Amino acid sequence: MTYENLDAKLVNELLGDGRASLRSLAEELDVSVTTVSNHLGDLEEDGVVRGYTPIIDYSKMGFDVTAILQLKVEGDALPEITDRLDAEKQMVSVYEVTGNYDIIAIGKFADTDDMNAQIKTLLTDPDIKESNTSVVLNAASENEQFELETE
């Protein structure tokens, strides 16, 4: 029984099956159920594992348009705008970034009319100085996570 890289190995197993039982994880990692439980508890407490959630194909739920919004924002309004975007249910990712824009947000919309309405509402905010919206034509990769090194 070896504990070297156990946390990374445990994360990798969860990436393969987030619904795996403690017992099956323990068998796969060749450690006790208690060890898996303790390490998993520590990973959750440290915020490494933040939850267990299904991966949704939004297009199969009627959200056929993915848009990437790039926004330039007045300096002190940045936290307010990112919070506002984060509160929008259809924004799946919101980032404060460096470069030509201050915020990049990715949203899922039922159609272009839905996207247009939400973007127009957002752009009425005087703290948003400039915007650029790109519509995704094809998602070559989405919601991907990667395994951790275990050497």
Domains and CATH numbers, the chain: 6-45 (1.10.10), 58-135 (3.30.70.920)
The pLDDT value recorded for residue 23 is: 97
Given a cut of 80, is residue 99 above it in pLDDT? yes
CA distance 106 to 67: 6
State the chain's mean pLDDT as an integer. Answer: 93
Residue 14, CB-side half-sphere exposure with 13 Å CA sphere: 22
Give φ, ψ of 121 to 5 degrees.
-65, -45
The pLDDT value recorded for residue 2 is: 61
Average pLDDT over residues 88-99: 95
Whole-model pTM over 0.85: no
Tokens 């898996």: give the residue: 36
The pLDDT value recorded for residue 71 is: 97
CA distance 50 to 43: 8
The pLDDT value recorded for residue 151 is: 77
Residue 3: pLDDT band by 50, 70, 90 thresholds? confident
Q: What percent of the chain has pLDDT over 90?
A: 87
CA distances from 26 to 30, 37, 113, 151 (A): 6, 9, 50, 19
